Amino acid sequence: MQSTDWIPETHYREAAASVRARLSLQPTVGLVLGSGLGPLVEEIQDAVSIPFQEIPHWPTATVQGHAGQLVAGTLEGQPVLVMQGRIHFYEGYSMAQVTLPVRVMRLLGIDTLVLTNAAGGLNRSFRAGDLMVIEDHIFLAGMAGYNPLRGPNQGTFGPRFSIHTHTYSPQLRTLARRVADELGITLHEGVYVSLTGPSFETPAEVRMLRALGGDAVGMSTAAEAIVAYHAGMRVLGISSITNLAIDDTAAREEVSHEEVLRAGRQIVPRLAALLRGILRQLPPFDPEEIENRPEHG
Ligand code: HPA
Protein backbone atom coordinates (compact mmCIF):
# COMPACT_ATOMS: atom_id res chain seq x y z
CA MET A 1 0.00 0.00 0.00
CA GLN A 2 1.31 3.50 -0.84
CA SER A 3 1.94 5.54 2.28
CA THR A 4 -0.75 8.06 1.33
CA ASP A 5 -3.37 5.27 1.24
CA TRP A 6 -3.39 5.23 5.02
CA ILE A 7 -2.82 8.25 7.21
CA PRO A 8 -1.69 7.82 10.83
CA GLU A 9 -3.95 9.19 13.52
CA THR A 10 -1.27 11.67 14.62
CA HIS A 11 -1.59 13.45 11.26
CA TYR A 12 -5.34 13.94 11.66
CA ARG A 13 -4.73 15.14 15.22
CA GLU A 14 -2.00 17.59 14.24
CA ALA A 15 -4.18 19.04 11.50
CA ALA A 16 -7.13 19.34 13.91
CA ALA A 17 -4.98 21.00 16.59
CA SER A 18 -3.70 23.58 14.11
CA VAL A 19 -7.24 24.45 12.98
CA ARG A 20 -8.61 24.48 16.52
CA ALA A 21 -5.96 26.98 17.63
CA ARG A 22 -7.38 29.50 15.13
CA LEU A 23 -11.08 29.05 15.91
CA SER A 24 -12.98 31.18 18.37
CA LEU A 25 -16.18 29.10 18.14
CA GLN A 26 -16.69 25.35 18.38
CA PRO A 27 -18.15 24.39 14.98
CA THR A 28 -20.77 21.63 14.91
CA VAL A 29 -21.73 21.74 11.24
CA GLY A 30 -19.28 21.08 8.41
CA LEU A 31 -20.09 22.25 4.93
CA VAL A 32 -18.19 21.20 1.81
CA LEU A 33 -18.75 23.42 -1.20
CA GLY A 34 -18.57 21.93 -4.68
CA SER A 35 -17.49 23.42 -8.03
CA GLY A 36 -18.72 26.97 -8.57
CA LEU A 37 -20.40 27.06 -5.15
CA GLY A 38 -17.56 28.87 -3.37
CA PRO A 39 -19.41 32.25 -3.23
CA LEU A 40 -21.60 30.81 -0.48
CA VAL A 41 -18.85 31.63 2.03
CA GLU A 42 -19.62 35.33 1.54
CA GLU A 43 -22.74 34.76 3.63
CA ILE A 44 -20.81 33.62 6.70
CA GLN A 45 -20.64 35.97 9.67
CA ASP A 46 -17.52 36.62 11.72
CA ALA A 47 -15.59 34.59 9.18
CA VAL A 48 -12.09 33.33 9.93
CA SER A 49 -10.26 31.92 6.90
CA ILE A 50 -7.55 29.30 7.07
CA PRO A 51 -5.81 28.54 3.76
CA PHE A 52 -5.29 24.81 3.25
CA GLN A 53 -1.51 25.33 2.88
CA GLU A 54 -1.33 26.49 6.48
CA ILE A 55 -2.73 23.25 7.90
CA PRO A 56 -0.26 20.40 8.45
CA HIS A 57 -0.86 17.24 6.35
CA TRP A 58 -3.69 18.94 4.45
CA PRO A 59 -3.72 18.18 0.71
CA THR A 60 -3.82 21.47 -1.21
CA ALA A 61 -6.42 21.98 -3.93
CA THR A 62 -5.26 22.75 -7.44
CA VAL A 63 -8.33 22.89 -9.67
CA GLN A 64 -9.76 26.06 -11.16
CA GLY A 65 -12.93 26.95 -9.24
CA HIS A 66 -11.63 25.48 -5.98
CA ALA A 67 -10.17 28.22 -3.80
CA GLY A 68 -8.79 25.99 -1.09
CA GLN A 69 -9.50 27.30 2.38
CA LEU A 70 -11.47 26.59 5.50
CA VAL A 71 -13.83 29.32 6.60
CA ALA A 72 -15.23 29.22 10.12
CA GLY A 73 -18.04 31.41 11.37
CA THR A 74 -21.77 31.54 11.88
CA LEU A 75 -24.51 30.90 9.39
CA GLU A 76 -28.14 31.14 10.55
CA GLY A 77 -26.96 30.93 14.11
CA GLN A 78 -25.09 27.67 13.57
CA PRO A 79 -21.34 27.50 14.16
CA VAL A 80 -20.06 26.22 10.83
CA LEU A 81 -16.76 25.19 9.32
CA VAL A 82 -16.88 25.50 5.57
CA MET A 83 -14.49 23.84 3.19
CA GLN A 84 -14.24 26.10 0.18
CA GLY A 85 -12.74 23.91 -2.50
CA ARG A 86 -12.48 20.21 -1.92
CA ILE A 87 -9.76 17.71 -2.69
CA HIS A 88 -10.37 15.30 -5.55
CA PHE A 89 -8.97 11.87 -6.32
CA TYR A 90 -8.30 12.96 -9.92
CA GLU A 91 -5.72 15.46 -8.72
CA GLY A 92 -3.58 12.50 -7.75
CA TYR A 93 -4.48 12.24 -4.07
CA SER A 94 -5.36 8.97 -2.40
CA MET A 95 -8.84 8.35 -1.04
CA ALA A 96 -7.37 8.72 2.47
CA GLN A 97 -6.05 12.19 1.57
CA VAL A 98 -9.32 13.15 -0.13
CA THR A 99 -11.20 12.34 3.07
CA LEU A 100 -8.66 13.71 5.58
CA PRO A 101 -10.70 16.92 6.02
CA VAL A 102 -13.74 14.90 7.09
CA ARG A 103 -11.85 13.14 9.87
CA VAL A 104 -10.28 16.43 10.95
CA MET A 105 -13.77 17.94 11.14
CA ARG A 106 -14.84 15.00 13.28
CA LEU A 107 -11.92 15.55 15.65
CA LEU A 108 -12.92 19.21 15.87
CA GLY A 109 -16.31 18.12 17.22
CA ILE A 110 -18.36 18.50 14.05
CA ASP A 111 -21.28 16.06 14.07
CA THR A 112 -23.22 17.12 10.99
CA LEU A 113 -21.69 17.25 7.52
CA VAL A 114 -23.34 18.83 4.50
CA LEU A 115 -21.71 17.83 1.23
CA THR A 116 -22.53 19.78 -1.90
CA ASN A 117 -21.34 19.08 -5.42
CA ALA A 118 -21.80 19.89 -9.06
CA ALA A 119 -23.21 16.96 -10.98
CA GLY A 120 -24.42 15.96 -14.40
CA GLY A 121 -28.06 14.94 -14.66
CA LEU A 122 -28.71 11.33 -15.69
CA ASN A 123 -32.41 11.31 -14.86
CA ARG A 124 -34.30 12.41 -17.95
CA SER A 125 -36.70 14.56 -15.95
CA PHE A 126 -33.86 16.74 -14.59
CA ARG A 127 -32.92 20.12 -16.06
CA ALA A 128 -29.66 22.06 -15.83
CA GLY A 129 -29.99 24.32 -12.80
CA ASP A 130 -31.99 21.83 -10.71
CA LEU A 131 -31.10 20.73 -7.20
CA MET A 132 -31.12 17.14 -5.93
CA VAL A 133 -30.88 15.86 -2.39
CA ILE A 134 -28.83 12.66 -2.37
CA GLU A 135 -30.84 9.66 -1.24
CA ASP A 136 -27.99 7.21 -1.75
CA HIS A 137 -24.90 6.76 -3.88
CA ILE A 138 -23.20 4.32 -6.21
CA PHE A 139 -19.47 4.53 -5.55
CA LEU A 140 -17.88 2.76 -8.49
CA ALA A 141 -14.28 3.43 -7.45
CA GLY A 142 -15.06 2.20 -3.96
CA MET A 143 -16.58 -0.97 -5.37
CA ALA A 144 -13.45 -1.42 -7.47
CA GLY A 145 -11.18 -1.27 -4.40
CA TYR A 146 -10.54 2.43 -3.84
CA ASN A 147 -12.51 2.53 -0.62
CA PRO A 148 -11.28 5.26 1.75
CA LEU A 149 -11.63 2.87 4.73
CA ARG A 150 -9.13 0.40 3.23
CA GLY A 151 -6.23 -0.48 5.49
CA PRO A 152 -5.99 -1.19 9.21
CA ASN A 153 -9.16 0.17 10.80
CA GLN A 154 -8.77 3.32 12.83
CA GLY A 155 -11.03 2.55 15.75
CA THR A 156 -10.92 6.14 17.02
CA PHE A 157 -13.17 7.04 14.14
CA GLY A 158 -15.42 4.00 13.73
CA PRO A 159 -15.83 0.25 13.37
CA ARG A 160 -14.06 -2.04 10.88
CA PHE A 161 -17.23 -2.82 8.97
CA SER A 162 -19.27 0.27 8.38
CA ILE A 163 -22.86 -0.48 7.36
CA HIS A 164 -24.16 1.84 4.67
CA THR A 165 -27.91 1.38 4.43
CA HIS A 166 -28.46 4.93 5.70
CA THR A 167 -25.35 6.89 4.67
CA TYR A 168 -27.40 10.01 3.99
CA SER A 169 -29.45 10.88 7.06
CA PRO A 170 -33.17 10.22 6.49
CA GLN A 171 -33.89 12.93 9.09
CA LEU A 172 -31.88 15.55 7.17
CA ARG A 173 -33.31 14.48 3.81
CA THR A 174 -36.81 14.99 5.16
CA LEU A 175 -35.78 18.37 6.54
CA ALA A 176 -34.28 19.37 3.18
CA ARG A 177 -37.47 18.44 1.34
CA ARG A 178 -39.61 20.34 3.83
CA VAL A 179 -37.46 23.48 3.66
CA ALA A 180 -37.45 23.33 -0.16
CA ASP A 181 -41.25 23.08 -0.11
CA GLU A 182 -41.54 26.05 2.22
CA LEU A 183 -39.27 28.12 -0.02
CA GLY A 184 -40.90 27.00 -3.26
CA ILE A 185 -37.62 25.48 -4.49
CA THR A 186 -37.82 22.36 -6.64
CA LEU A 187 -35.74 19.64 -5.03
CA HIS A 188 -35.33 16.23 -6.62
CA GLU A 189 -34.20 13.25 -4.61
CA GLY A 190 -32.03 10.58 -6.15
CA VAL A 191 -28.97 8.42 -6.47
CA TYR A 192 -25.58 10.08 -7.00
CA VAL A 193 -23.03 8.10 -8.98
CA SER A 194 -19.51 8.92 -7.91
CA LEU A 195 -16.80 8.53 -10.53
CA THR A 196 -13.19 9.56 -10.15
CA GLY A 197 -12.90 11.75 -13.26
CA PRO A 198 -11.22 13.86 -14.52
CA SER A 199 -12.53 12.76 -17.91
CA PHE A 200 -16.27 13.16 -18.27
CA GLU A 201 -18.38 10.12 -19.04
CA THR A 202 -18.79 8.82 -22.55
CA PRO A 203 -22.36 8.57 -23.88
CA ALA A 204 -22.21 4.76 -23.47
CA GLU A 205 -21.15 5.22 -19.85
CA VAL A 206 -23.99 7.69 -19.31
CA ARG A 207 -26.50 5.13 -20.59
CA MET A 208 -24.90 2.48 -18.38
CA LEU A 209 -25.02 4.65 -15.25
CA ARG A 210 -28.66 5.51 -15.91
CA ALA A 211 -29.48 1.81 -16.34
CA LEU A 212 -27.73 1.11 -13.01
CA GLY A 213 -30.14 3.45 -11.25
CA GLY A 214 -28.14 6.68 -11.15
CA ASP A 215 -29.91 10.04 -11.25
CA ALA A 216 -26.83 12.28 -11.19
CA VAL A 217 -23.11 11.78 -11.80
CA GLY A 218 -20.09 13.58 -10.42
CA MET A 219 -16.49 13.27 -9.28
CA SER A 220 -16.70 13.58 -5.50
CA THR A 221 -18.82 13.16 -2.37
CA ALA A 222 -19.19 9.38 -1.95
CA ALA A 223 -15.80 8.85 -0.31
CA GLU A 224 -16.38 11.79 2.04
CA ALA A 225 -19.87 10.54 2.91
CA ILE A 226 -18.52 7.07 3.74
CA VAL A 227 -15.78 8.41 5.99
CA ALA A 228 -18.18 10.82 7.69
CA TYR A 229 -20.80 8.15 8.32
CA HIS A 230 -18.13 5.74 9.54
CA ALA A 231 -17.02 8.39 12.02
CA GLY A 232 -20.55 8.78 13.37
CA MET A 233 -21.60 11.96 11.63
CA ARG A 234 -24.99 12.85 10.20
CA VAL A 235 -24.58 13.40 6.47
CA LEU A 236 -26.62 15.45 4.02
CA GLY A 237 -25.70 15.58 0.32
CA ILE A 238 -27.00 18.09 -2.20
CA SER A 239 -26.15 18.04 -5.90
CA SER A 240 -26.41 21.03 -8.18
CA ILE A 241 -27.31 19.69 -11.58
CA THR A 242 -25.08 21.95 -13.64
CA ASN A 243 -25.60 20.13 -16.95
CA LEU A 244 -27.33 17.13 -18.42
CA ALA A 245 -25.02 14.19 -19.08
CA ILE A 246 -24.89 13.49 -22.81
CA ASP A 247 -26.03 10.02 -23.81
CA ASP A 248 -25.67 10.09 -27.58
CA THR A 249 -22.47 10.26 -29.66
CA ALA A 250 -24.44 12.17 -32.32
CA ALA A 251 -25.22 14.99 -29.85
CA ARG A 252 -24.05 18.43 -30.96
CA GLU A 253 -23.65 19.90 -27.47
CA GLU A 254 -20.62 19.40 -25.22
CA VAL A 255 -20.10 19.57 -21.48
CA SER A 256 -17.28 21.77 -20.26
CA HIS A 257 -15.79 22.66 -16.88
CA GLU A 258 -16.61 26.33 -17.64
CA GLU A 259 -20.28 25.43 -18.18
CA VAL A 260 -20.28 23.58 -14.86
CA LEU A 261 -18.84 26.62 -13.08
CA ARG A 262 -21.25 29.03 -14.76
CA ALA A 263 -24.31 26.92 -13.95
CA GLY A 264 -22.99 26.47 -10.41
CA ARG A 265 -22.95 30.24 -10.00
CA GLN A 266 -26.56 30.51 -11.21
CA ILE A 267 -27.66 27.89 -8.71
CA VAL A 268 -25.83 29.54 -5.79
CA PRO A 269 -28.69 31.84 -4.64
CA ARG A 270 -31.19 28.96 -4.53
CA LEU A 271 -28.75 26.56 -2.92
CA ALA A 272 -27.80 29.26 -0.40
CA ALA A 273 -31.47 29.81 0.47
CA LEU A 274 -31.98 26.07 0.88
CA LEU A 275 -28.90 25.62 3.03
CA ARG A 276 -29.79 28.59 5.21
CA GLY A 277 -33.31 27.22 5.70
CA ILE A 278 -31.90 23.82 6.63
CA LEU A 279 -29.45 25.37 9.12
CA ARG A 280 -32.24 27.48 10.63
CA GLN A 281 -34.31 24.42 11.34
CA LEU A 282 -31.53 21.92 12.01
CA PRO A 283 -32.48 19.68 14.94
CA PRO A 284 -29.73 19.11 17.51
CA PHE A 285 -27.58 16.07 16.89
CA ASP A 286 -28.68 13.06 18.91
CA PRO A 287 -25.74 10.77 19.76
CA GLU A 288 -28.21 7.94 20.34
CA GLU A 289 -28.80 7.87 16.61
CA ILE A 290 -25.20 6.66 16.28
CA GLU A 291 -25.31 4.28 19.23
CA ASN A 292 -28.38 2.61 17.71
CA ARG A 293 -26.60 1.81 14.46
CA PRO A 294 -26.37 -1.96 13.85
CA GLU A 295 -22.55 -2.10 13.79
CA HIS A 296 -22.38 -0.50 17.22
CA GLY A 297 -24.87 -2.95 18.78
N1 HPA B 1 -20.10 14.43 -15.14
C2 HPA B 1 -19.24 14.30 -14.11
N3 HPA B 1 -19.04 15.24 -13.23
C4 HPA B 1 -19.72 16.38 -13.36
C5 HPA B 1 -20.64 16.60 -14.40
C6 HPA B 1 -20.84 15.56 -15.35
O7 HPA B 1 -21.63 15.67 -16.30
N8 HPA B 1 -21.15 17.84 -14.24
C9 HPA B 1 -20.57 18.35 -13.12
N10 HPA B 1 -19.71 17.49 -12.59
In a domain, 170, yes or no: yes
Return the ligand 1 atom nearest residue 218 CA: 3
CA angle 181/118/266 to nearest 5° reads: 65
Residues with CB under 6 A from ligand 1: 118-120, 200-201, 217-219, 242-243, 245, 255, 260
pLDDT digits (tens, 9 = 90+) for 180-203: 999 999 999 999 999 998 999 999
Q: Quick one: angle between helices 170-183 and 257-280, nearest 10?
A: 100
What is the residue range of 50's domain? Answer: 9-296
Neighbours of 80 (CB within 10 A): 26
Q: How many domains does the chain have?
A: 1
Percent of the chain with pLDDT over 90: 79
Nearest CA to ligand 1 atom 10: 119
CATH number of the domain encompassing residue 251: 3.40.50.1580
**Sequence-ordered strand ranges (E) for the chain:** 29-33, 45-51, 69-75, 78-84, 112-121, 131-139, 187-194, 216-218, 234-244
**Over residues 63-89, mean pLDDT:** 86
In a domain, 19, yes or no: yes
Q: Give the Å distance between the CA of 37 and the centre of ligand 1.
A: 14
The pLDDT of residue 65:
46
Nearest CA to ligand 1 atom 6: 120
**Given a cut of 90, is residue 265 above it in pLDDT?**
no
In a domain, 92, yes or no: yes
In a domain, 3, yes or no: no
In a domain, 23, yes or no: yes
Contact 177, 266 (CB under 8 A): no
**Given a cut of 80, is residue 35 above it in pLDDT?**
no
User: Which of 57-71, 94-108, 141-155 comes out lowest in average pLDDT?
Assistant: 57-71
CA angle 292/294/297 to nearest 5° reads: 70
In a domain, 1, yes or no: no
pLDDT digits (tens, 9 = 90+) for 243-256: 999 999 998 877 77
**Given a cut of 90, is residue 85 above it in pLDDT?**
no
pLDDT digits (tens, 9 = 90+) for 124-171: 999 999 999 999 999 999 999 999 999 999 999 999 999 999 999 999
